[in-house]
Amino acid sequence: MQAVKSKATRIERRLWAMLAGMGERGWRKNAADLPGAPDVAFDALQIAVFVDGCFWHGCPLCKRPLPQTRRDYWQGKIERNIARAKRYNQQLQQMGWKVARFWEHEILRQPQSVRRRLRAIIRQRRRMAEPTSIAQTALERLDE
């Protein structure tokens, strides 16, 4: 188990490079002060991004086989990982955060889809963060 990295995995580095390539700013890596230590956190927009390893989180598409030894241990470990991720999602959502989770295989094989989803989430949260008032909205309608 010591060979398993908890920070700066190959998949996390791909996600970080993707965000940099998109020109996104205002995010930080491995936000240890938030539930689950999201791989990426946009604090101002309250967006938490996780990349879940297909084996470690039991991806239903990849269905990676369990090791031949101690199968009960590994099955339980993956089930606990899934339950923990759900708990972190709930905690972050209760704090007002939007949670985005991507599978390892999505980052590797479907980067354009990941970029589209990230852009949509970021755009939505930016719109929500914009200060608007009823009076301002009414004035804008009059100008139309």
pLDDT tens digits for range 20-33 = 999 999 999 999 99
- Above 80 in pLDDT, residue 14? yes
Instruction: Examine residue 82 and state whether it is found in any structural domain, yes or no.
Output: yes
Q: What is the CATH number of the domain that holds 38?
A: 3.40.960.10
Residue of higher predicted confidence among 111 and 134: 111
Instruction: Examine residue 4 and state whether it is found in any structural domain, yes or no.
Output: no
Instruction: Examine residue 133 and state whether it is found in any structural domain, yes or no.
Output: yes
Mean pLDDT of 78-89: 98
Mean pLDDT of 1-24: 83
pLDDT of 1 reads 41
State which residues form the domain around 112: 10-143
Instruction: Examine residue 59 and state whether it is found in any structural domain, yes or no.
Output: yes
Write down the mean pLDDT value for the chain: 90
| Structural domains in the chain (count) | 1
- In angstroms, the first-to-last Cα distance of the chain is 62
Instruction: Examine residue 1 and state whether it is found in any structural domain, yes or no.
Output: no
Instruction: Examine residue 5 and state whether it is found in any structural domain, yes or no.
Output: no
User: Percentage of residues in the chain with pLDDT exceeding 70?
Assistant: 86
Distance between CA 125 and CA 33 in Å, rounded? Answer: 21
Instruction: Examine residue 3 and state whether it is found in any structural domain, yes or no.
Output: no
- Above 70 in pLDDT, residue 3? no
Instruction: Examine residue 2 and state whether it is found in any structural domain, yes or no.
Output: no
- Above 60 in pLDDT, residue 129? yes
